[in-house]
Structure 1
Amino acid sequence: MPTTRRLRCDTAKHLTLVVGMMLVVCPAAASSSEPARAQSPTLVDCQERFAARPEDHEAVMCFYECAQAPHARDTVRRALISLGERHPANGWLALVLGHVEYLSDREAAEAAYLRAADIFRERQNAEGEVLAGINLRSIMLRQKRTEEALSWTHRVGEVANASGRPDLRARALIVEASQLHEVEYDLGRAFRVLKRAEPLTFPDGTPGLKKQYLTMLHIISERLGRLEEATEATLRLVELARSSRDLISEARARHTLANLMTRRHLRDRAPETRSQALRMAREALVASRNAGVRQLEAKALRLIADLLGESPEEQREAEELLRLCMRIAEELASDERKISCLWTRAERRAGVDPVGAIQDSEESIQLALRVADPLVLALALRGRGQVAYLTQPLPVALEHVERALDAVESLRASQSDALIQAELFASWASDYHRLAGWTLEAGGATGKAALLDPREAMSRAFAVSERMRARSLLDALAASHALATTAETPERKAQRAEVRGRLTTVQRRLLETTHTAAQREAALRELQELERVERDLRTAPRQGTREFASLASIEQGLGEDEALLAFLVGDDTDTRGDFAGGAWVLAVTRTGTRAHRIPERARLTPAVALFSGLLERRDGSEAGAAAALYAQLLGPALAELPTGVRRLLVVPDGPLHDLPFAALRQDAEGPPLVARYELSLMPSASLWRHWRQASAPPPGGEALVLADPDRSVRVSDARTVAKERMGVFTEAARVGALPEARREGHAVMEALRGTAVTPHLRTGTEASERALKSADLARVRVLHVAGHAVVDAEAPERSALVLAPGSEQEDGILQPREIAELHLQGALVVLSACRSASGAVLPGEGVLSLSRAFFEAGSRAVVASLWPLRDAEAADLVEHFYQYLAQGLSSSAALRRAQLEAIEDGLPPAAWAGLVVLGDASLAVTAPREDSLSSGSLMVGTGTLALVLFAGILVWRARRSAYPKSAS
């Protein structure tokens, strides 16, 4: 029997078990909303509470609070064992004994938790078994017993679901998300599983459950690069911790806020964010010390040291902070803490102690290999590359950075969702920019002495560029669509069909205008859940290829009249002032490749935004900005191109995805770029090679034209006439008629009549989703849609072409997941709809647009719009495009001729420069007619064309003052 003397136990300051990144909250601490006690309980207090309420788990948790004092721990343990012998059916005594044992002996803790789980299972106590299972899983993960941990993850889910209790179901979902995140590294599924716990946690969950949810949400969101979402979750966690006086949770949240601000500083490069991040890191250090959590203190020390500048005072402070960081890491025997302290110290020591810096960074890599987390390894290798750049020959640094990116790509490959792969990759785009720039520097491109053969350096930099670009789209196209489809089991196909049917039903409700706000909110929550289920049912993305296009293969594949311009828009310097790779354009032709420096991302982003804003004014005020951007982006590269080049294949990056290259001009009074070249935009050179090498579709076929869809689902409002082909998702139900789109459809029919492509026109209610999905798309050479598009940059997979439904089984909202399954076979797709080429831009991956989805469906070229189109202007431009397309011209040549006519008619760039060709610019849909313009007559320099252009420019200047203003 334990002594009954009054044993004063210290106040419980840390009632959580932390395993890896997963926060496991002990039950009483999680469920109690009371603030910390002013005075800790004594052992006698705990025994009295248990005697009064032996089945109350909060009464039993009193023993765990008392055991926080090391000198009291053994006495508390003996007391719990004694009580357990007298009350063998009390699972709470076994569970809390496990908590106490965990403080000093994890093997003993496992035995206690197993006994608790058995007792709770026998007594059918779902809450107890769930909590015991969560803690058992944590111990097994800590010991790398992943299969056993997975079995407990499943058991916790089974028990929680059978119980029907929302709080237990939420805990089980959080555990499942942790399993996906920490063990399988599948961040996408982890995020979707976690979001299912949100309605079960808020608003009625306990403070502890809410903390668990928000903690996991910010961890996963941060890893995905969703910094704003992670910040929002962390701010909620701060408020929750403060309201419950939870010093530990508040300290953890404050460190996370500081870390997020640091990442935003690295991403946005705003001057004020560094000082904000440093201030927040200092606040996190104070909070960590107040909470008495050494792990968080070490994290805060490292972060402050990383953010400090290079002045002597800051250097001395950083050295002291890192010394303390290392000491705490040693005391805690924490490899992860030691790794981060080492790589930060290595980077700061590089300028004064190169040997010590190299030793630190090498040690961090060895520890990271032991941790076996690909992200930790990638970060350690990134730091090693930076140290090598500052202390060793540049080729050595290149090797280390390449190893870091290999680790990132390993983590990417573990994701089961293509969009998540792209999001994860996006946060590393700057590392690819850095490696490409350093490689070009090694080849002498920056003016320094060459350390690599210039040609070798150029080839390696181009290869790095290709590894970064549009990887998910390249994987989707390289892997056989048929193979990906047949990989599904019949059961999964049936499940997907059932879920998609429910999605259609919910979206039809959301498109009705008679529902109340509460009904729409409920439908939106149901939609979000169905979207998560549908994504989980998709076939995992296939790694289609690791063989990206080499520079030599692109040079050999280009025609003598073609040049490929691959842009790399990085930063000139990092936060310490070291070279961060810079920004470049690689001009590739059959005769060779040249690299040219361009302004860095921080300068180009506002310049492109300004140019776009001036274009919208339609008064010619954009001419100066057009000339400035031409000089910065294109001038040197175009000046060195062979004289025969007439087609530019542009691979944009960063802010350049939104730039209408056709409207740039050599000088403010000169003709636009489209007067000299055909233009096409490419997601990557590897994708261009994929399309160019694909076998050409057979001659002949059909054109399916859907124009001015009439949804016929309006309530009381009359059908309005729209001035622009634009809208947002919430307005999809009220989109107006587009009379000019109907005229456009008839013009397409007229242009293609008599060619090898037989057109079929569907208008009004016949321009439907059902008509498109039921068509024989294997025969379709041209798919034309003239109507509305809705673009959701926050949720790209909700963007859609707005069609008529055509049946009760459709909603008329043709979304990317449906587009990608259309089975187009090399067709030309023309989307005469607003912003069909724009959307959310992910660094590296590119634009998540509707156009992209048609490439996944099998299209070789897409003509689409960067911005809203006025109905009449779009109809005229597209009509002229088809007239030239019907003559046998390629898609880029036909669009160029149509744009030249618009220029000759005095229209401003806003009326014609937004329509772009994406993909294979050489794609033609019919053989040239005898009376068609020869390709030679399209080349700059012929006398007739030059005179026509000159006359058109004179007309344009005369009409500038009469430009119509933008429609409201």
Structure 2
Amino acid sequence: MGWLLLAVGLLPHALAVAAEPPEPPEPSALARCEEGFVAHPAGSETALCFFREAQDLGRRDEARRRLRGLIASHPERPWLLLVLGYVEMLSEPRLAEDSYRRAALAFRKQGDAEGEVMAGINLRNVLGVLGRTEEAHTWVQRVGEVARASGDAQLQVRALILEASELSDLGQDLGRAYRLLKRAEALAFPGGSDSVKKQLLNPLATVSANLGHFDEAQDAYARLAELARSTRDVGTEARVRFAFANLALRRNEERPEPGGRPALLRLAREALAAARKAGSKAFEAQSLRMVAELLGDSPEERSEADEHLRRCLDLALEAKLPERRIACLWTRAERLAGVDAIAAERDADAALALAAEHDNPRYLASAWRARSMVAFRTRPLPEALRQAERALDAVEVLRQLQKDASSQAELFSGWANDYHRLAGRTLEAGETSALPPREALERAFAVSERLRARTLFEALVASRALAVGADAPERGEERARVLRGLSATQRRLLETTLPASERTRLLGELQELERRERELRPAPRHDAVQFASLSRTEEGLGEDEALLVFLVGMDHDLQGERAGGAWVLAVTRGGTRAYRIPERARLSPAVALLSGLIERRDGSEAGAAAALYAQLLAPVLRELPPSVSRLLLVPDGPLHDLAFAALRERADGPPLISRYALARVPSASLLHHWRERSEPPPAGEALVLADPDRSGAPAGTTVVASSRGGVFGETASLGALPEARREGRTVEEALEGTDVRPRLLVGTEASEQALKDSRLDGVRILHLAAHAVVDVEAPERSALVLAPGSPQEDGLLQPREIAELRLRDALVVLSSCRGASGALLAGEGVLSLARAFFESGAHAVVASLWPMRDAEAAWLLERYYRHLASGQGVASALRSAQLEAQQDGQPAAAWAGVVVMGDAALVPVRRAGTAAVGVPGQGATWALALLVCVLVVAIGGGWWRRSKRAAPAWPPEDRGEGRRGG
């Protein structure tokens, strides 16, 4: 839901207070505060006594009076001004501005870095509340300068938090905000004060949540809760209660569970009770709104919700919290939509106007979404659809504010349900004649394309998303230095004898180098892209092709409103039809069940495969033209994990591949982009790197690894892969007599340096048979493990390096430890190292959805290359190999999980002396293929929001045969 971006409160305008909350005040406490200050006027602690006592509303006026008297008699003590600002902020931010400003200037004059940082932070927060963003920005810059000049780690943490706050408050560049906070985390833990840790953990958790890193957000909030308990901080406890409820709500939205609403309502009520106990107006308003959102439509619940929303609006107005008021207005509008259309539209318009007044893209996107939700219940459907389209325009403005592709995709994925809703409701309009059926199909297809693999598409259209600015050469040189530092640090971390203390230090150094490298990357260009229209897509398909576009949404949202449902669009050259399929909540367990049954390797999956065939494909395939022999699948949600090849019309019938070659494409727009090129593929090279040797051990002492995998810390101990060496020779033999010249590098020659030194623009097939290491917590450390090849390389081919290989329409075969499962980003799809190869210039992917046994993988691989060498396209060759495996009696686990991604019709190899083979109008050689256990998405999300999915735990062979898989 869009409103969650506001509900979480990316970085609340909290006071940067340097001390912990006190015990409950005693009688005459303020008098003692004054006596204490007179006795010890230096420093901050005695002044902060007044703020602690002012938490009690009844003492607030007296605290202000006593502070003003002391300021008059001690003008040289700016801590008094700062604390007066704290006290005034509790009631009226406008009053606090003057006190904070005077304090900051006085601290600056005295050269007190700590005081100026504290005053500057709070002044910036006040200015942000008042909407004076440009003036607030000058104080962000000033605080950073003072903190860096001071050399004080704790002040630097506060400055980094403030810089991240500025970005995230406006919904701008959340990726950079996240990296700033991770840098601050390294400075604050373990030695920082409890106060600094609390100030850091809250924004770290909320930014993580808004990028979809729910596990990391949960961990940060858990640490914050422990700090709140240990310091008896009721205000922080209220914050954490609300945060946990909000996280649960967001998780339920992505993975709905039956009966989840009562549990969420209970959490929201607990958050409300904690906010009231703490006396926090901001969190009380947020919690009131959440409770109202989750209440049902019975008379009692409706009455309670109305009262909560009235109180929410009053609190937001009283505490000068415009974002809370906006959220309360649209929540009330959505609740009123079914009973009072006029009042609902009035509230929705008021929320939109207030959001526009503050010129905050985050507020605007959420307010537009709410306006469209009201319109679906109060306006004719065509008008409601137009408003929903306007809401998506606002979302995409917010997306464009993100400065790197990863944060663009991560933030965008949080709005995927809105795209599903609009596409589904548009198709429903075509069913009910609210729209002409063809117009409904065209508009729904356009919405789908706006959602699919956007960052990848834009990167390819904009020449791999590299923008060259005036400062590019200098930044490029600095980035090169950072990359050399990364390689050197990782080489040290690979040393098996490294002491634990040194390893910890180097990991911290590595984290900082990684952050710096991200900052120095060229910014993505936002060139306009032209999405493929439905008509253009139909015209671009062959007579033998059908494009099946899946939209796996929900039938109803948490509030019971229609959420668009789930659909499949069957696109052929002759036209397009839409079919309903089961919603996401039903498909997810069905897909998981099929995968588990396939894992048993006993044929017990046949019934489940037939059931999914009936639900997803039966109506579609019955009405396809008889000429269709290839299905291009655009999966969505849980269908990314589905082994379509194993589906069958009857439990005792043949699998789907007996009728169709299959391939997966990220979007129709990308398919069109790949097929625009029409020249035939030139003769080229097949570069094969197999069984890299990085041990340097004498012959006969090498340990043979049973699987191709490991984590970063285990890279140094990985053994040899003799099966991979045989695999390389298989590729070499299969390509003899073709126009693709094989070049096999094994052992120490199979190196990172050799790969980077190769003329890759002439490589048509790149085959890498090697270990891969996966780090789900730090995905960019994941890598294909090669021999180093030079003292400057570490042998870890990582995503940032893969993306810069500059392949030219090459077929890349990665026979590694993982498959095409792992990180799933809503809209963008399944991502990992495969994405980096796409960006490097490849076009199609062959990958495995699960770990495979070495013998079975080698068997399938040999036949796959044999069919490629005969001139078949990438999808047809795989179908032929899979059919042979199925007819040989091998279980589905041995062949059904291998999939083609990209342009299925690509023909990368032809026999010497034969004419180029291809489909008219299609591109030249464009293929990225990751065969068998490709390291495709298992790096935990690449640069993207992670949705961690464990690979199946395959049983070992009885004869002790090795496996390809982690």
State the TM-score, normalized to the length of structure 2. 0.90
Structure 1 distance, partners of 2:201, 2:708, is 40
- Residue 892 (structure 1) aligned with residue 875 (structure 2): yes
**Which among 110, 114, 117 is matched to residue 104 of structure 2?**
117
Q: Name the SS of the counterpart of 1:753 in structure 2.
A: coil
Q: Does 1:384 align with 2:371?
A: yes
* 2:838 corresponds to 1:855: yes
Larger Rg: 1
Identify the residue that residue 29 of structure 2 maps to in structure 1: 41
Alignment of 1:53-92 (within 5 A): 53-65=40-52, 80=67, 83-84=70-71, 86-92=73-79
- Output the CA distance in 1 between the equivalents of 2:302 and 2:468: 58
Is the Cα–Cα contact under 8 Å of residues 837 and 850 in structure 1 kept in the other structure?
A: no
Partner AA of 1:923 in structure 2: L
Change (3 A) 1:71 1:873: closer
Q: Deviations over 1:179-235 (max 9, x none)?
A: 221246111100110111113223332332222112212221222222332233223
The 1:472–1:377 alpha-carbon spacing in structure 2 relative to 1, beyond 3 Å, is same
Q: Give the drift of 1:690.
A: 0.6
Partner of 2:905: 922
Counting only pairs closer than 5 Å after superposition, residues 4-23 of structure 1 correspond to structure 2 as: 21-23=11-13
Cα distance in structure 2, aligned partners of 1:618 and 1:78? 79
Partner of 1:764: 747
The residue correspondences of 1:105-504 to structure 2 (distance < 5 A) are 109-183=96-170, 185-444=172-431, 449-481=432-464, 484=467, 489-504=472-487
Who is 2:930 aligned against?
none
Question: How many residues of Structure 1 are paired with residues of Structure 2 in the alignment?
Answer: 919
SS in 2 for 1:619: coil
Give 2:813's aligned residue.
Answer: 830
Whole-angstrom distance in 1 between the partners of 2:696 and 2:580: 54
1:647-689 per-position Cα deviation (integer Å, ceiling 9, x unaligned):
1111111111122222222222222212211211111111111
Alignment deviations for residues 849-897 of structure 1 (CA, whole Å, 9 cap, x no partner): 2222111000012222222222232222222222222222211122222
Q: Secondary structure at the match of 2:578?
A: strand
Deviation at 1:69, TM superposition (A): 7.2
Residues 36 and 592 of structure 1: CA distance in aligned 2, closer, same or farther (over 3 Å): same
Q: Say yes or no: does 1:581 pair with 2:568.
A: no
**Aligned counterparts, 1:591-670, within 5 A:** 591-670=574-653
8 A contact 1:705–1:745 mirrored in 2: yes
Q: Which moved more, 1:162-171 or 1:67-76?
A: 67-76
Contact 1:908/1:963, CA 8 A, preserved across alignment: no
Determine if contact 1:744/1:876 at 8 Å carries over to the other structure: no
Q: What one-letter code is carried by the residue in structure 1 that aligns with 2:894?
A: A
Provide the residue aligned with 1:691 in structure 2.
674
**Matched-pair contact (CA < 8 Å) for 1:888–1:932:** no
Tell which deviates more after alignment, 721-730 or 759-768: 721-730
Partners in 1 of 2:605 and 2:562 — Cα distance?
A: 33
CA shift at 1:799, angstroms?
2.8
AA aligned opposite 1:117: A
One-letter amino acid matched to 1:452: L
Where do 5+ consecutive residues of structure 2 fail to align? 1-7, 920-956
**Identity across the alignment (%):** 59
User: In 2, distance between residues paired with 1:964 and 1:610?
Assistant: 27
SS of 2:184's equivalent in the other structure is: helix
Cα distance in 1, alignment partners of residues 40 and 836 from structure 2 = 62
Local SS of the residue matching 2:29: coil
Instruction: Report the counterpart of residue 516 of structure 2 in structure 1.
Output: 533
8 Å contact kept, 1:134–1:175: yes
In the alignment, does 2:893 pair up with 1:910? yes
Q: State the alpha-carbon separation in 1 of the partners of residues 850 and 580 from structure 2.
A: 29
Q: Is the 8 A contact 2:465 2:523 kept in 1?
A: no
CA drift at 1:775: 0.4
CA distance in 2: counterparts of 1:102 and 1:851, whole angstroms: 51
Q: Deviations over 1:40-80 (max 9, x none)?
A: 623x4333222211112111233445666788767765655
Shift of 1:420: 1.3
Structure 1 stretches of 5 or more lacking a match? 1-17, 937-961
Inter-partner Cα distance in structure 1 for 2:862 and 2:729? 9
Q: Distance between the aligned counterparts of 2:108 and 2:470, measured in 1?
A: 39
Q: Which residue type is aligned with residue 651 of structure 1? A: V
Given that 1:146 and 1:183 are in contact with CA atoms closer than 8 Å, whether structure 2 keeps it comes out as no
Secondary structure of the residue that 2:852 maps to in structure 1? coil
- Classify the secondary structure of the residue corresponding to 1:443: helix
Indicate which of 784, 800, 805 corresponds to 1:801: 784
1:819 aligned to 799, 802, 808, which one? 802
Greater shift, 744-753 or 788-797, is seen at 788-797
Aligned mates of 1:401, 1:538 — CA distance in 2:
35
Structure-2 separation of matches of 1:389 and 1:184: 27
Write the deviation string for residues 356-410 of structure 1: whole angstroms up to 9, x where unpaired.
2222222222222223222222222222222222232211221222122111111
Match of 1:875 in 2: 858
Distance 2:28 2:530 in 1: 64
3-state DSSP of counterpart to 1:822: coil
Q: CA deviation digits over 1:504-531, x for unaligned, max 9?
A: 2232233333334444444333332322
Change in 2 beyond 3 A, CA 1:603/1:40: farther
Pairwise CA distance, 1:479 = 0.3
2:467 counterpart SS class: helix
Equivalence for 1:953: none
CA distance in 1, matches of 2:38, 2:359: 47
Correspondence 1:709 to 2:692: yes
Contact 1:796/1:840, CA 8 A, preserved across alignment: no
* Structure 2 counterpart of 1:676, from 637, 651, 659: 659
- C-alpha distance in 1, partners of 2:524/2:487? 24
Residues of 1 paired with 2:740 and 2:780: CA distance? 32
> Whose RCO is larger (CA < 8 A, sep 6+)?
2
**What is the SS of the residue equivalent to 1:906?**
coil
Give the Cα–Cα distance (whole angstroms) in 1 for the partners of residues 276 and 351 of structure 2. 26
Which residue is equivalent to 1:509? 492
Task: Give the conservation status (yes or no) of the 8 Å contact 2:664–2:899.
Answer: yes
Q: Is the 8 A contact 1:834 1:868 kept in 2?
A: yes
Deviates more, 1:899-908 or 1:209-218: 899-908
* Kept after mapping to 1: 8 A contact 2:681/2:908: no
Note the aligned Cα RMSD (angstroms). 2.8
SS in 2 for 1:122: helix
Q: 2:762 aligns with which of 756, 779, 785?
A: 779
Deviates more, 1:297-306 or 1:684-693: 297-306
Match of 1:25? 15
CA spacing shift, 1:80–1:292, aligned 2, 3 Å: closer
Alpha carbons of 1:887 and 1:127: their partners in 2 closer, same or farther (altered >3 Å)? same
Q: Give, as a single letter, the amino acid of the residue that structure 1 aligns with 2:765.
A: V
Paired residue secondary structure (2:267): helix
Tell whether the 8 Å contact from 1:426 to 1:844 is kept in structure 2 after alignment: yes
Q: What's the secondary structure of 2:881's corresponding residue?
A: helix
C-alpha distance in 2 between matches for 1:613 and 1:305: 40
Per-residue deviation at 1:472? Answer: 0.9
Q: Which whole-Å deviations, capped at 9, do the CAs of 1:438-470 have from their partners, x for residues lacking one?
A: 0000000xxxx2100000000111111111111
Q: Distance in 1 between matches of 2:470 and 2:632?
A: 35
In the TM superposition, what is the alpha-carbon distance from 1:276 to its structure 2 partner?
2.3
